[in-house]
Amino acid sequence: MESLKKLQCNDSKFNICCALFFTLINFLFIKRTWEIIAPVSFHSWLFAISVPVVLFSAWLTIFSMINLPWLRKPVLVILIIGCAASNYFMYTYGAVIDKNMMTNVFETDSQEAVSLITPQLLIWLSIAGIVPALILASIKIKPSRWWYTLLTRLVGVLAGLLIIILVASVFYKDYASLFRNNKGVVKMVTPANYISAISRYSLTRWFAGDQTLVKIGEDAKKGTLISQQKKKTVVVFVVGEASRAENYSLNGYTRDTNPELKKRDVIYFPNASSCGTETAISVPCMFSNMPRKNYDASLARHQEGLLDVMAHAGINLLWRDNDGGCKGACDRIPHTDMTQWNLDALCKDKSCWDDAILHRFGNVLDGLQQDSVIVLHLMGSHGPAYYRRYPDKFRKFIPTCDSNQIQDCDRQSLINTYDNTILYTDDIVSRTIDELNAHGDKFNTALVYLSDHGESLGENGIYLHGTPYMLAPSQQTHIPFLFWLSKDYQRNFAVNADCLAKKAVAVQVSQDNIFSTLLGMMDIKTSEYQSNMDILATCRKA
């Protein structure tokens, strides 16, 4: 500590040191650009060398302007620790730090956050964050005359800008091509990435202006078909978590991860895609009347969605949750968080197996007296602690990765553990179908299952999910999607199952189809309904 107390320098040297340190912090960005450039010629070698030079010049310009006395050290300490955290998740999981990732950060629940806290994270934050921050805070900056300080700062700004301009005059086309063809690279520059992401999130979440609820589908009403049924109709919509189609045997996966569902006459759609790559986007998007390409998350937060339209039509609604909330989709309907039931045999540390979602589910069905839609939001394959998502009897594929530090597990054990989560989801969905079947004497029953998004398991160094959609690998956007329709539902709602099965293998579907498909399944008439988006529409008899 005594040696730290002796550290001192003048203002200009301090700014240069800050610029150098933040250039080194961005080693992942520099490394990635060099991999893309892959220099072989003299020109490409100079271009590669220019990357850290431009980065240093940019930081020198910035710090010469913003490093104000009294504020600079507290601000820099915060920035350094933030950079350490960003680099950890980029390096460990291949995460991209953008607005959607910040949405995940701010809207996650405690158990999900805790699962990401590992010894590696704490060590990384200590070495790359806290230690440099302490060193920086210990540096004594020798005072200079105000005019001299101003002059040296002006020189720093001009020098930084001059170097950038000179590099641009030689390599402008190279940089334009680099960033145009590799849009994710610029999001690796920290702290710019997380500052920009937090700013954009704040503007849409907390400074979005008028948030008056926008009502839609107030003209909704039940159609003649459902109104004339002798039995009430119950549709269960199961929303999975982080299940990727690639690991479903129903989708052609070589392992039998769906032994139960394949026995239950489900109609599987092999070409289905998600609206987003994270729960906070996909769930509100699939329940909104907006397609993915036009989805506005800010509007969705204060606009009614699918469940509100059903409520306008007089449908009884219930949302049962085991995955950290509905992200606004169920705010105005009855909903329950199953983790709050504290079921001793099923829950631990505020996290429950998906058996909790079926706790007294038969009693719920027994008590229904109206046409109803029930949403079950599963924990599914939520990472990184995949090994905690299923009971021991579903530990079929071994050895497993019994750790939340999945990047340290060998690939096969990680896949084994993930496949066990799919096996467990297969059991949960199958037992839900069985429960609906058991109530077939009282209701016309049907079930829809899909996942909110997929998951990466180390392909190309990427883990978990949340990669920007335009950059996301198929593992994060290709999702399982299936229907189960009871015989009575098929007959009473004139649905031709053979037609639907043929359609399933021939068409591309997505979460965009959910809004109109579920309205159609409950025979709800409204101007919001679009028959061309209803998957079952062409397979209904006139």
Per-residue pLDDT reduced to its tens digit, 292-325: 999 999 899 999 999 999 999 999 999 999 998 9
Q: Decide if 375 contacts 320 (C-beta within 8 A).
A: yes
Pair (535, 433) in one structural domain: yes
Domain presence at residue 232: no
pLDDT band at 6 (very low <50, low <70, confident <90, very high): low
Judge if 190 and 275 occupy the same domain: no
Count of C-beta atoms within a 10 Å radius of residue 110: 11
Global pTM value: 0.85
Number of domains present in the structure of the chain: 2
**Cα 34 to Cα 20: distance, rounded to the nearest angstrom:** 19
Using CA atoms, how far apart are residues 251 and 67, in angstroms rounded to an integer? Answer: 56
* Most confident of the following: 11-20, 116-125, 209-218, 221-230: 221-230
Q: Are residues 419 and 291 in the same domain?
A: yes
Q: Domain end: 147, 179, 205, which one? A: 205
Residue 370 lies in a domain: yes
Whole-number percent of the chain with pLDDT over 90: 73
119 CB-side CA count, 13 A: 2
**CB neighbours of residue 530 within 10 Å:** 17
Q: What is the mean pLDDT of residues 454-474?
A: 93
Whether residue 310 is found in the same domain as residue 379:
yes
* 3-state SS, residue 428: helix
pLDDT per position as a tens digit, 247-294: 999 999 999 999 999 999 999 999 999 999 999 999 999 999 999 999
Domain shared by 386 and 482, yes or no? yes
Two tokens at 1? 């500590």
Do 261 and 192 lie in one domain? The reply is no
The pLDDT of 523-533, averaged and rounded, is: 97
Give the domain extent around 464.
240-539
Query: Does 135 fall in a domain?
Result: yes
Asked whether residue 426 is domain-assigned, the answer is yes
CA-based diameter of the chain, in Å?
Answer: 90
* 124 and 29 in a common domain: yes
- DSSP symbol at 214: B
Write down the pLDDT at residue 211.
77
| Domain CATH number, residue 453 | 3.40.720.10
Residue 16 has pLDDT above 70, yes or no: yes
In a domain? residue 213:
no
193 and 338 in a single domain? The answer is no
The predicted-structure confidence for 71-125, as pLDDT tens digits, reads as follows 888 999 999 999 999 999 888 888 888 877 888 777 776 677 777 888 889 999 9
Residue 84 and residue 133 in contact, taking contact as beta carbons nearer than 8 Å: no
pLDDT, mean of residues 327-353: 92
Within a domain: 29? yes
Judge if 264 and 144 occupy the same domain: no
8-state DSSP, 351: E
Is 329 found in the same domain as 456?
yes
Cα–Cα distance for residue pair 365/369, rounded to 1 Å? 9
Q: Residue 176: which residues within 8 A CB-CB, separation 6 or more?
A: none
Examine the domain organization and report whether 390 and 264 are in the same domain: yes
Same domain, 259 and 371: yes
The beta-carbon contacts of 27-31 under 8 Å, at least 24 apart in sequence, are 28/87, 28/90, 28/91, 28/188, 29/55, 29/185, 29/188, 29/189, 29/190, 30/55
Specify the 3-state DSSP secondary structure of 376: strand
pLDDT tens digits, 135-187? 888 888 887 787 887 888 899 899 999 999 999 999 988 988 888 788 788 88
Residue of 466, 459, 501 whose CA lies nearest to 484? 501
Please give the pLDDT value at position 388.
95
